[in-house]
Amino acid sequence: MVAKTGTVRNPFSGRSVPWALAKCLQREAEIAESIGLIVYSIGNPDHLDNRPAGGHTPWRDGSPVGVVWAIDIMVDAKGKDYLREFEQFAIRYCKSDADTTAIRFFNVNGSQYKFNGIRKWDSGDHHFHLEIENGKQNANLGLMAAWKEYKNPTTPEEFNRLGFIDDARLKQQTGKPEVWLTGRGKKTHVPNPTRLKVIQAFMKARGIPSNVEQSSAPIPGTVI
């Protein structure tokens, strides 16, 4: 488990400094660990001796003392494909309408990126180094939760109602408002556009056709 609080000796002043990992990073770390990723927070002696002091110390340059501002999530330990997929996901997430302004920068797969997913320059880090801005300790990033959901999506209840997934298709009779999730002689009503989006995202992630097929005839099947 990642260290969330502790005391560390400042090699410059010789003082013992109590520290706590920024709250928003505690949340990100917990979710990362729940999917089997290793996470680090406070730095090793190399980090602690560094000047200017970085995010893995509780005395980062220009920041209040006592907060650790960065975590390392070892996504690279899962192999090259996982690492690349994570990098692309993190970029997409930062370019989406999710609020990522709490991110000072992140490093992954040999590159450094800004909070908005724009690449800055090369980085020596291949793991995911996530570093937070001053004053943003309590932000809710939601990044690792979104990654967890992306890798292992929750099955929408409509599929549970039908009792199967891969044979299900979305259909609509042209000119009618109702969209149906249908297959094997059954159909269940998709109640609104929000549910439709959730269902389509799930189908896409599984490689099932997710378009709404138009039909001139009424959609057959027993309503479930």
- Contacts of residue 218, defined as CB under 8 A and 6 or more positions apart, other chains included, come to 173
Closer by beta carbon to Zn ion, 59 or else 202: 59
83, 122, 217 from 79: Cα distances, Å? 6, 20, 49
Interface with Zn ion (CB under 5 A), residue from 27, 37, 72, 158: 72
- Min dist. Cβ of residue 6 to Zn ion (A): 17
Determine the interface stretch with Zn ion among 64-72, 73-81, 178-186, 198-206 (rule: CB under 5 A): 64-72
Q: Is residue 76 at the binding interface for Zn ion, with CB under 5 A as the rule?
A: no
- Min dist. Cβ of residue 70 to Zn ion (A): 5
d(CA 73, CA 62) in angstroms, rounded, equals 24
Count residues near Zn ion (CB under 5 A): 2
Amino acid at 110: G
Determine the interface stretch with Zn ion among 76-84, 121-129, 189-197, 210-218 (rule: CB under 5 A): 121-129
The angle formed by the CA atoms of residues 171, 176 and 178, to the nearest 5 degrees, is 55
d(CA 188, CA 180) in angstroms, rounded, equals 6
Amino acid at 164: F
| Nearest by Cα to 107 from 82, 90, 85 | 90
- Min dist. Cβ of residue 130 to Zn ion (A): 8
Closer by beta carbon to Zn ion, 56 or else 187: 56
19, 162, 206, 210 from 223: Cα distances, Å? 58, 10, 24, 20
- Min dist. Cβ of residue 93 to Zn ion (A): 19
By beta carbon distance, the residue nearest Zn ion is 129
Determine the interface stretch with Zn ion among 13-21, 92-100, 110-118, 122-130 (rule: CB under 5 A): 122-130
Interface with Zn ion (CB under 5 A), residue from 129, 171, 186, 187: 129
Determine the interface stretch with Zn ion among 20-28, 31-39, 123-131, 141-149 (rule: CB under 5 A): 123-131
Determine the interface stretch with Zn ion among 26-34, 72-80, 162-170, 172-180 (rule: CB under 5 A): 72-80
- Conformational region of residue 137, where left means phi above 0, alpha means psi within -120 to 50, and beta covers everything else: alpha
3-state secondary structure of 7: strand
Enumerate binding residues for Zn ion (CB under 5 A).
72, 129
